[in-house]
Amino acid sequence: MAYPLTSAAIETKLSTIGGLPHCDLLSAANPSREGKTIHYLRIHDGSGADRPSILLTGGVHAREIAPPDALLSFAEALLVAYRDGKPLRMPSWDDTAYAPALHYPAFIAMSKPDVKAVLRRLNVIVAPNVNPDGRDFALGGPTVPAPPVPPEVQAEHDFRFLWRKNRRSPPAPLGTLTAPLSTGVPVTSVSVTAASRGSLVAGLTLEVVNGATSQVAVASAPFAAGDLAIPVYSFTPSVDYGIGSAVNDAMDYGVDLNRNFDIAWAFDSYYDAAAVAYNTTFPNDSFSRVPSHQTYIGDSAASEPETQNIVSMMSDENIRYFVDVHEYGRDVLRPWAFSEDQRSDKTNSWHNKALDRPAGPGRPRRGGAYADWFPNDPGARPRLLLDKHNAIAARMAFKIKHSAGANPMAVARSTYATPTSIGYDATGCSDDFLLSTMFPPLAGPWPAPITDPEKFAFTIEVGTPAGGLVDPSDDEGGFHVLPSKYPKVEREIWAAVSAFLTKLASWAGP
Amino acid sequence: MRLVKISAPAGALRDVQTLPGLHINHESVVIEGDGSWSATAYASTAAVDFLEASGCKVETLKSEEQINEELRALKQGMDVNADQGPPKDV
């Protein structure tokens, strides 16, 4: 299959796959911000309200190019294997970047009985491209010509290929900045006529963009009437891609969908002041209320139609199992992303509103004297939920490693870690959200017994960053998995997802 | 942008988080016992100049043209796919 697919090509492919036996083609609840229809698949051979359902999502972050393609190919291959009464088999592949080529053998992702069990016992929901606007923006930048490259072309190229968020239009300007600006002349003061957006107030440093240059100023004084009027969008610190380019102010577009779910979304209530201050110095990773930052959480929890679509899928399809596929890191992650976890003290929980600011103290950041409760009681439901999460994560990682065959280099390149989280605090994540729906309604007393069925949620980070994790020779292209490396990443996604599905089918068996 | 490896003294990591034109690959960050760290990153020429002036060691892993070429190859695959029209039934 060609790689990478545009969002339109993914939609076309979904239509084709949706025509296969035992597959329903479904429309997401909402079109994307830019009006694109988003389809997904329900794979099953059977019906009934009590069938376990698993949701597989990809493309949440726009620049993470490979997972949508791989989930699509997985769905198609699973259906074809079932139709033909065959195992789900991944062919061999040789990585010719090495001399001699690094051989990855063919492997059976699912045996024939496993394929049969999965379709007869589970509903497998595949939503491969949940952020089509972002994907098209990331893939739609200019193709850079041979040198000399016009600076504005290079700037737009660099800006687009690292795009992460959806494509929500920028928030309304805070107001009109009037200043005696001219290109190259630093701004020394600004005036904001409408100084409120969310919790952001005047007095912070502002990023000022006038179309020709980007400057930084501190709000201090009004300007004289008649000065050049400029809309003000952003607070610094901000990431500024391409000074002088046509996209200079365009970072204000978009919301990070994987910070937009309703779980610890209001990070400034969940954490204490020190944790907020620490984490917001990493606005490309943790979370931010600044629209121009890559982890902008949005105006409100689940504000984005793309987020709402995933929430609706989880609800409408009665999802108990969930895998969200991202790039990069070679990790199989499980909740919580917003905190380290512990298994005994129910008081220390995101659910305990007495800890929330401003009434409560808030919670320290990761690595501090706090960890959030993860159910793991051996004697009460949900029994040993944390242990079972760890076991499934290990199972997925093992299947990936096993699929690499016997070559030590291939095995090393296919070794996934199973840490608690990606290593920094992240709020509003989809996997945390699904797990949080096990808990009683927030208005209820706490601690309170969990009565909903147990749920399982994971995030897989496939591939390595550009330049490798540690070894520069272990470079799979980072967010933009190289076409020459895509078959390896595809294999890994097939292996991990197959391992999970096979386990679930065994749980659901007679 | 080029792809670089940055080696820096303790404390500098937080200071460069929001440096314009710098995108650190955080999964690549290695922090040594003395607090010094190294990481790969996409960086503009201006960002590299700033880093070096700040005492960081910067080693180029891929030039801007190499990255451009990789993205060109990626987009060629996309363009080929677009030219193929609707996928064939399986």
Whether B89 is in a domain gets the answer: no
Which residue, among A43, A284, A333, A479, would best test binding to B if mutated, counting the most B CBs under 10 Å from its CB? Answer: A284
Predicted TM-score of the model (pTM) = 0.88
- What CATH number is given to the structural domain containing B72? 3.30.70
Reported confidence tier of residue A117, pLDDT bands at 50, 70, 90: very high
What was the pLDDT predicted at B15?
Answer: 75
Give Cα A315 distance to the centre of its chain. Answer: 19
Among the listed residues A284, A292, A296, the one whose alpha carbon sits nearest the alpha carbon of residue A259: A296
pLDDT in tens, A133-164: 999 999 988 888 888 888 778 877 888 888 99
Task: List CB contacts of B49: < 8 A, sequence separation 6 or more.
Answer: none
What was the pLDDT predicted at A183?
Answer: 40
Contact residues on chain A for B6, CB-CB shorter than 8 A: none
Domain segments of chain A as ranges: 7-136+316-349+368-507, 172-232
Whether B70 is in a domain gets the answer: yes
CA distance B8 to chain A (A): 16
The sign one gets for the Cα dihedral A396, A399, A404, A408 is positive
CA distance A50 to chain B (A): 31
pLDDT at B82 over 60: no
Q: Which of A387-391, A402-406, A416-420, A445-449 comes out lowest in average pLDDT?
A: A445-449
pLDDT in tens, B33-74: 888 889 899 998 888 988 998 889 999 999 999 999 999 988
What is the per-residue DSSP string for A258-300?
GG-SSSS--HHHHB-HHHHHHHTT-TTTS-BS-TTSTTB--SS
Chain-chain contact of B77 with A329 (C-beta, under 8 angstroms): no
Chain-chain contact of B25 with A158 (C-beta, under 8 angstroms): no
Domain range enclosing B64:
2-83
Q: Are strands A200-201 and A196-197 parallel, antiparallel or unpaired?
A: antiparallel
**Burial profile A143-176: b = 16 or more Cβ within 10 angstroms, e = fewer:** ebeeeebeeebbbbbbbbbbbbbbbbebbebbbe
Chain-chain contact of A16 with B14 (C-beta, under 8 angstroms): no
CA distance A102 to A86: 28
Whether B90 is in a domain gets the answer: no
Contact residues on chain B for A419, CB-CB shorter than 8 A: none
Among the listed residues A167, A185, A239, A181, the one whose alpha carbon sits nearest the alpha carbon of residue A207: A239
CA distance A20 to A17: 5
Reported confidence tier of residue A247, pLDDT bands at 50, 70, 90: very low
pLDDT at B87 over 70: no
Whole-Å CA distances, A114 to A85, A105, A108: 11, 20, 10
- B 15-54 residues with CB below 8 A of A? 17-18, 20-21, 23-28, 30, 40, 42, 44
Chain-chain contact of A143 with B21 (C-beta, under 8 angstroms): no
Residue type, A290: V
Whether B43 is in a domain gets the answer: yes
Under 8 Å between Cβ of A159 and A151: no
CA distance A448 to chain B (A): 37
pLDDT at A395 over 50: yes
pLDDT at A233 over 60: no
Whether B13 is in a domain gets the answer: yes
What was the pLDDT predicted at A171?
Answer: 65
pLDDT in tens, A269-308: 999 999 988 887 777 788 988 777 789 899 899 999 999 9
Contact residues on chain B for A328, CB-CB shorter than 8 A: 27
| Option in B30, B61, B71 nearest A467 (CB) | B61
CA distance B83 to chain A (A): 10
Whole-Å CA distances, B25 to A329, B29, B43, B66: 10, 7, 11, 18
A114: which 2 tokens?
């496993």
Whether B17 is in a domain gets the answer: yes
| Option in B21, B72, B86 nearest A143 (CB) | B72
pLDDT at A391 over 60: yes
CATH of domain A7-136+316-349+368-507: 3.40.630.10
Mean pLDDT of chain A: 84
CA distance A507 to A445: 32
Mean pLDDT of chain B: 82
| Residue A231 exposed, middle or buried by CB count within 10 Å (0-12, 13-18, 19+) | middle
CA distance A413 to A469: 10
A61: which 2 tokens?
């972050």
Q: Which of A163-177, A196-210, A244-258, A388-402 comes out lowest in average pLDDT?
A: A196-210
What was the pLDDT predicted at B79?
Answer: 65
| Option in A1, A80, A285 nearest B26 (CB) | A285
Chain-chain contact of B81 with A9 (C-beta, under 8 angstroms): yes
Chain-chain contact of B27 with A464 (C-beta, under 8 angstroms): yes
B14 and chain A: CB distance < 8 Å anywhere?
Answer: yes
pLDDT at A166 over 60: yes
Reported confidence tier of residue A223, pLDDT bands at 50, 70, 90: very low
Q: How many beta-carbon pairs below 8 A join chains A and B?
A: 124
Q: Is B8 helix (H, G, I), strand (E, B) or coil?
A: strand
The mean pLDDT of A255-269, rounded to a whole number, is 96
CA distance A376 to chain B (A): 29
B9 and chain A: CB distance < 8 Å anywhere?
Answer: no
Reported confidence tier of residue A197, pLDDT bands at 50, 70, 90: very low
Under 8 Å between Cβ of A44 and A21: no
Domain count, chain B: 1
